[in-house]
Amino acid sequence: MNAKNTVIIDHKEVELNGEKNILELTRKLGIDIPTFCYHSELSLYGACRMCVVEVEGRGIVASCSTPPTPGMKILTNSPRVQRVRKTVLELLLANHDRECTTCEKNGNCKLQELANRFGIKRIRFGERDVKLPIDDSGTSIVRDPNKCILCGDCVRMCAEVQGIGILDFSNRGAKVVVTPAFNKNFSEVECVNCGQCSAVCPTGALVVKSETEKAWAAIHDPEKFVVAQVAPAVRVALGEEFGLPAGEIVTGKVVAALKRLGFDKVFDTCIGADLTIMEETTEFIERLQKGEKLPQFTSCCPAWIKYAEHNEPELLKNLSSCRSPQQMFGSLVKKYWAKELGKDPKDIYVISIMPCTAKKFEAARPEFTTEGAPDVDLVLTTQELARMIRETGLLFDQLDIESFDTPFGFTTGAGVIFGATGGVSEAVLRAAHELVTGEAVEEVNFEAVRGFAGLKEATVEINGTKIKVAVVHGLGNAKKLLQDLKAGKADYQIIEVMACPGGCIGGAGQPISTDPEVKKERARGIYNADKLSQLRKSQDNPIVAKFYEKWLQKPNSHEAHEALHTNYSPRGRILGEDIQLLSSRRKHKVDVAVCVGTCCYLKGSYDTLKRFMEKAEEEGIKHRLNLHATFCLEGCETGPSVRINGEVVSGVTPDKADQVFAEIVEKLPENHRD
């Protein structure tokens, strides 16, 4: 047997073919070994122990982290394996808030599913007796630590795929929790609201913040004229909630459902995407001609924008100033269309149906308002819309299809492909050549920017100028690309960034699935919808042309900038907290605060702080200082920043620490220097 490249699984001989672990091998055989902490996109962890199998001579092992070797004899469902799995489930349930009927994940919870699958009817280990506070402070995600099973999926997703790392394990033993730094709320740290943590959470510990009650209140308010806009990625995913295949285009049924729910008008966000292409492409051409603010980064993804505000303030000038399609749509409705209807902007209630949790944060940004009213009043995810449809009792798969309303319902295929990674770049490429040369592009498919590679590149020539395009999805991939740009290892003119793996089709507000094939099917549906479109280039949209004629004059005009563009500012990493290092109660002292927020930290502020402490010790004046670390002095672009008696000094890199410390000493009263 040892001479053969085979193993024995449940008494059957199986040939090995490069499988990395026993779990991967058994799944190929059609054996569904249960897991909590295993995801193909994440590193191996092996913490939950649900995937255990019995290996002859080795006993119980975790199948996700054990590679198969020739000659192994494996049992996937022995009495010992069954006992271990049931005990693990009982222990998890004993420490779990079991209010299942009121949980957002009820019916879609892995713990609930496995407890039912393994027939857990009685728990021998008591129940949770300590209730930890729930964090619902943010706009997008609710964190309930009482439902956390410590699988670590959210920790690894945030750190490995998104490259942010705002979540980690804290404390020891029975007190271990998953939490942001210093036990802060999500709203107080550099969370970008992408929600990918909730997409991999197997329980109700991390869920999308539900706002369906607000939607119902608006629909039932006779004073409100309620309109919906539907993002392109929704049309290839909503059907999954009702048993339809992933990627099936259900646009007509989505429109019909929304009208049955009580919406006065139902529009397509793709009209905003077409406008985005006209504005963003024109903006890019102007930058290219002037040779400034390049590369130009896309600005459609609010999670990417917030990431840049926190971590890359020096690149904010490179972001396209265009609002996202969602916000362009809301702005036009409130600023122009409301007047045509003779309505006050406050009386039109715009609800976005989005695949994205970060859109909730974006809609709440104070810069996106008209006469004091938000341009977008409320954002519902695909999950939330499905909940409303079920609540109403509509049989989604049996609905007759209906069409979008005018004037915001006529769109092009270029707007539809925004839903997949690479779609924005492809739509720009469909427009750029024609806007520069006046010659129509016949071939509109740009295959090089399609697909699920972490980085995709394309080079196109327009009027003798070569333009290099990069496409990244997942903020971890974006982070790597930015490092290469800074190191001079990469050179592009246009860079598309989408925070979620796969783009909007993989948004955290979509129906939950950990199968990577589901995203591929959704992407295929997006491109099929593009093929079915009568018009496939944004510049061919006659309704967009009318908008410019009536309201906006031309792309990048003053009117267009007022309605369709914005600007962004640096953000602090963590708000309002100090860490005291050297403290003095004496009257005559100097207060020194060193920012250790992300931007300043990356520029060496920790070493500056360390040098200050060394100098204070060397010069014997540590008792004369209030030296402390703080988390944001808002000088991100010119950091590291230091505040001395209320005055902020910028650019205090470690090599300048001694010079600045000498200035601190000068501020001490003469008779108090030791």
DSSP string for residues in 308-360: HHHH-GGGGGGB--BPPHHHHHHHHIIIIIHHHHT--GGGEEEEEEES-SHHH
Assigned architecture for domain 91-208: 2-Layer Sandwich (3.30)
Say what the pLDDT of residue 577 is. Answer: 52
Q: How long is the chain?
A: 674
Is 362 an active-site residue? yes
Say what the pLDDT of residue 3 is. Answer: 62
Say what the pLDDT of residue 579 is. Answer: 60
12 neighbors 129 (Cβ within 8 angstroms) = no
Which position among 198, 320, 321, 324 bears the catalytic label? 320
| 79 burial level (CB within 10 Å; 0-12, 13-18, 19+) | exposed
- Closest alpha carbon to 403 in 217, 583, 268, 567: 268
Say what the pLDDT of residue 588 is. Answer: 58
Which position among 300, 301, 500, 636 bears the catalytic label? 300
Give me the residue spans of the domains in the chain.
Answer: 6-77, 91-208, 212-396+409-564, 578-672
Q: Tell me the C-alpha distance between 255 and 614, whole Å.
A: 66
Which position among 241, 280, 384, 496 bears the catalytic label? 280
Strands 455-462 and 465-473, sheet pairing: antiparallel
Query: Angle of helix 270-290 relative to helix 423-437, nearest 10 degrees?
Result: 60
The residues pairing with 14 across neighbouring beta strands, listed in sequence order, are: 7
Say what the pLDDT of residue 514 is. Answer: 81
Is 359 an active-site residue? yes
Cα separations (Å) of 486 from 320, 570, 639? 19, 19, 17
DSSP three-state, residue 265: strand
Say what the pLDDT of residue 473 is. Answer: 97
Is 65 an active-site residue? no
Which position among 104, 240, 248, 283 bears the catalytic label? 283
Q: Tell me the C-alpha distance between 59 and 54, whole Å.
A: 5
Q: Tell me the C-alpha distance between 576 and 579, whole Å.
A: 10
Q: Tell me the C-alpha distance between 565 and 561, whole Å.
A: 5
CATH of domain 6-77: 3.10.20.740
Which position among 504, 599, 632, 636 bears the catalytic label? 504
Is 320 an active-site residue? yes
37 neighbors 21 (Cβ within 8 angstroms) = no
Is 280 an active-site residue? yes
Say what the pLDDT of residue 670 is. Answer: 59
Q: Tell me the C-alpha distance between 336 and 330, whole Å.
A: 10
Assigned architecture for domain 578-672: 3-Layer(aba) Sandwich (3.40)
For each successive 10 residues of the chain (674 residues), what is the average pLDDT?
A: 80 92 92 89 85 95 94 95 95 90 92 94 84 94 95 95 95 92 91 96 96 98 97 98 97 98 98 97 95 96 96 93 98 96 96 98 95 96 98 97 96 96 96 90 90 95 92 97 95 97 97 91 97 94 97 96 92 56 59 84 87 88 84 78 88 92 80 46
Say what the pLDDT of residue 674 is. Answer: 46
Which position among 248, 279, 362, 384 bears the catalytic label? 362
Is 546 an active-site residue? no
CATH topology of domain 212-396+409-564: Fe-only Hydrogenase (Larger Subunit); Chain L, domain 3 (3.40.950)
Whole-prediction pTM: 0.85
Strand residues in 583-661 grouped as ranges (E): 590-595, 625-630, 642-644, 647-649
Measured at the CA of 454, the angle between CA 448 and CA 456, to 5 degrees, comes to 20
Say what the pLDDT of residue 582 is. Answer: 58
Which position among 15, 56, 340, 367 bears the catalytic label? 367
490 neighbors 498 (Cβ within 8 angstroms) = no
Which position among 253, 293, 359, 519 bears the catalytic label? 359
Say what the pLDDT of residue 25 is. Answer: 94
Say what the pLDDT of residue 581 is. Answer: 60
Say what the pLDDT of residue 578 is. Answer: 53
* Backbone phi, psi, residue 196, to 5°: -65, -25
Say what the pLDDT of residue 672 is. Answer: 46
